[in-house]
Amino acid sequence: MTSELDIFVGNTTLIDEDVYRLWLDGYSVNDAVALRVRSGILEQTGATAAVLQSDTMDHYRTFHMLERLLHAPPKLLHQLIFQIPPSRQALLIERYYAFDEAFVREVLGKKLSKGTKKDLDDISTKTGITLKSCRRQFDNFKRVFKVVEEMRGSLVDNIQQHFLLSDRLARDYAAIVFFANNRFETGKKKLQYLSFGDFAFCAELMIQNWTLGAVDSQVDDMDMDLDKEFLQDLKELKVLVADKDLLDLHKSLVCTALRGKLGVFSEMEANFKNLSRGLVNVAAKLTHNKDVRDLFVDLVEKFVEPCRSDHWPLKDVQLFLNQYSASVHSLDGFRHQALWDRYVGTLHGCLLRLYHD
């Protein structure tokens, strides 16, 4: 006796959250059944393995049918085939677009192309996330990217509108799209200590301050691309380190203000010029695409690592950066105050976030 056909269709579509998670995680039906058995569900409910198998198959089939709609979440809301309560719809979408930290760290900043997709095997082996799940997550990134790529308006809003994601998740996607578009390097060994959250935080600051949309909300592609003009202008900041007098004045202003307040004062004093040179040079280099990609590598190399090797506490880093950016306003010979603020304001936030072990 073999079961040829076995289905269950409810007027309200039944969604089992646990099975949904297993499906999203890319487990085959048999693996999912095994995992469910291990969860002790048989004992709880008195069901048999056959029942569990049939139930899992049913859910998988439903999810498979829903997947097409999940690719364009507004369709899920308007379709008539599956009657799903709104709260469940929200849950389905949110979970479908959720991603694994380990996975996103691997592809963050990479081009969302076929080439990267081919590497998913390796990522799967490396992270222990099933290939199926990797594919789903990658395709999600790519799909969101494709939809919002050419769109006007706020990146987060666009993502929310077209994918009906929660605010949190939409922000994460904005960061992923932003990183993919600008191809920031995040995979270097030096950057391994950074979490997705760190990058997402930086991305948000950069979107808010460094993109076209930050100054003019009527421009195309405003949130995806960095403001080219702004990057060009950043060259002007070079005077801060190139002009010796200006550099000395800046240093003395910072040192005066921080004397006695900093635990690592002497180290700071000794390193000031190096640090300042590092930060300003990063800005000056941003005209080249390749250097834009290396932004995070540079920030870590030029600032985070030197401070860390001198064991600066976070509090001191904060004090230093406050003073470092504020003192520029007192430099009479420096004319690019607004530019400086736009640059260093974001940098300030990013560096603090990046500064940890």
Partner 1 sequence: MPGKLKVKIVAGRHLPVMDRASDLTDAFVEVKFGNTTFKTDVYLKSLNPQWNSEWFKFEVDDEDLQDEPLQITVLDHDTYSANDAIGKVYIDIDPLLYSEAATVISGWFPIYDTIHGIRGEINVVVKVDLFNDLNRFRQSSCGVKFFCTTSIPKCYRAVIIHGFVEELVVNEDPEYQWIDRIRTPRASNEARQRLISLMSGELQRKIGLKVLEMRGNAVVGYLQCFDLEGESGLVVRAIGTVCTLDKLSSPAAHLPACNSPSKEIKESPLVHPPSHGCRSTHNSPIHTATGSRLTQNFSVSVPTLIYTGMGSGSAGKEGGPFKALLRQQTQSALEQREFPFFTLTAFPPGFLVHVGGVVSARSVKLLDRIHNPAFVGIMGNTRSYKLLDWNSFNSDEPETRDAWWAEIRQEIKSHAKALGCHAVVGYSESTSICEEVCILSASGTAAVLNPRFLQDGTVEGCLEQRLEENLPAGCGFCHIPYDELNMPFPAHLTYCYNCRKQKVPDVLFTTIDLPVDAIVIGKGCLIQARLCRLKKKAQAEANATAISNLLPFMEYEVHTQLMNKLKLKGMNALFGLRIQITVGENMLMGLASATGVYLAALPTPGGIQIAGKTPNDGSYEQHISHMQKKINDTIAKNKELYEINPPEISEEIIGSPIPEPRQRSRLLRSQSESSDEVTELDLSHGKKDAFVLEIDDTDAMEDVHSLLTDVPPPSGFYSCNTEIMPGINNWTSEIQMFTSVRVIRLSSLNLTNQALNKNFNDLCENLLKSLYFKLRSMIPCCLCHVNFTVSLPEDELIQVTVTAVAITFDKNQALQTTKTHAEKSLQRASTDNEELLQFPLELCSDSLPSHPFPPSKEHLESASANSGIPAAQRDRCSSWIELIKLKAQTIRRGSIKTTVTVEKASPVGEGTFRNRSAPPCTNSTVGVVKMTPLSFIPGAKITKYLGIINMFFIRETTSLREEGGVSGFLHAFIAEVFAMVRAHVAALGGNAVVSYIMKQCVFMENPNKNQAQCLINVSGDAVIFVRESELEVVSTQQSAPSCQSSCTGGEVTT
Q: In this chain, which of 22, 155, 164, 319 binds partner 1, going by CB under 8 A?
A: 164
Task: Give me the half-sphere count of Cα atoms (radius 13 Å) on the Cβ side of residue 184.
Answer: 24
Least separation in angstroms between CB 101 and partner 1: 17
Site for partner 1, residues 91 to 130, rule: CB under 8 A: 91, 94
Is residue 25 a contact residue for partner 1 (CB under 8 A)? no
Nearer to partner 1, 93 or 234 (CB): 93
Task: Give me the half-sphere count of Cα atoms (radius 13 Å) on the Cβ side of residue 202.
Answer: 24
Instruction: Please count the other Cβ atoms lying within 10 Å of the Cβ belonging to residue 119.
Output: 15
Please state, in angstroms and as integers, the Cα–Cα distance from residue 5 to each residue in 2, 57, 178, following that order: 9, 11, 47
Do 199 and 179 meet the contact criterion of CB atoms below 8 Å apart? yes
Is residue 9 a contact residue for partner 1 (CB under 8 A)? yes
Per CB under 8 A, the segment of 4-12, 132-140, 191-199, 327-335 that binds partner 1 is 4-12
Spatial distance between the Cα atoms of 19 and 56, rounded to a whole number of angstroms: 7
* Size of residue set near partner 1 by CB under 8 A: 53
Do 26 and 130 meet the contact criterion of CB atoms below 8 Å apart? yes
DSSP secondary structure string for all residues of 134-190: HHHHHHHHHHHHHHHHT--S-HHHHHHHHH---HHHHHHHHHHHHHHHHT----SGG
Is residue 43 a contact residue for partner 1 (CB under 8 A)? no
Per CB under 8 A, the segment of 42-50, 108-116, 215-223, 335-343 that binds partner 1 is 42-50
Site for partner 1, residues 128 to 157, rule: CB under 8 A: 157
Q: In this chain, which of 32, 33, 52, 328 binds partner 1, going by CB under 8 A?
A: 52
Q: Which two tokens stand for residue 345?
A: 């304001």
Nearer to partner 1, 164 or 317 (CB): 164
Is residue 46 a contact residue for partner 1 (CB under 8 A)? yes
In angstroms and rounded to an integer, the radius of gyration of the C-alpha atoms of the chain is 25
Site for partner 1, residues 68 to 87, rule: CB under 8 A: 74-75, 77-83, 85-87
Site for partner 1, residues 280 to 339, rule: CB under 8 A: none
Footprint of partner 1 on this chain (CB under 8 A)? 1-14, 45-48, 50-52, 54-55, 57-58, 61-62, 64-65, 74-75, 77-83, 85-87, 89-91, 94, 157, 160-162, 164, 166-168
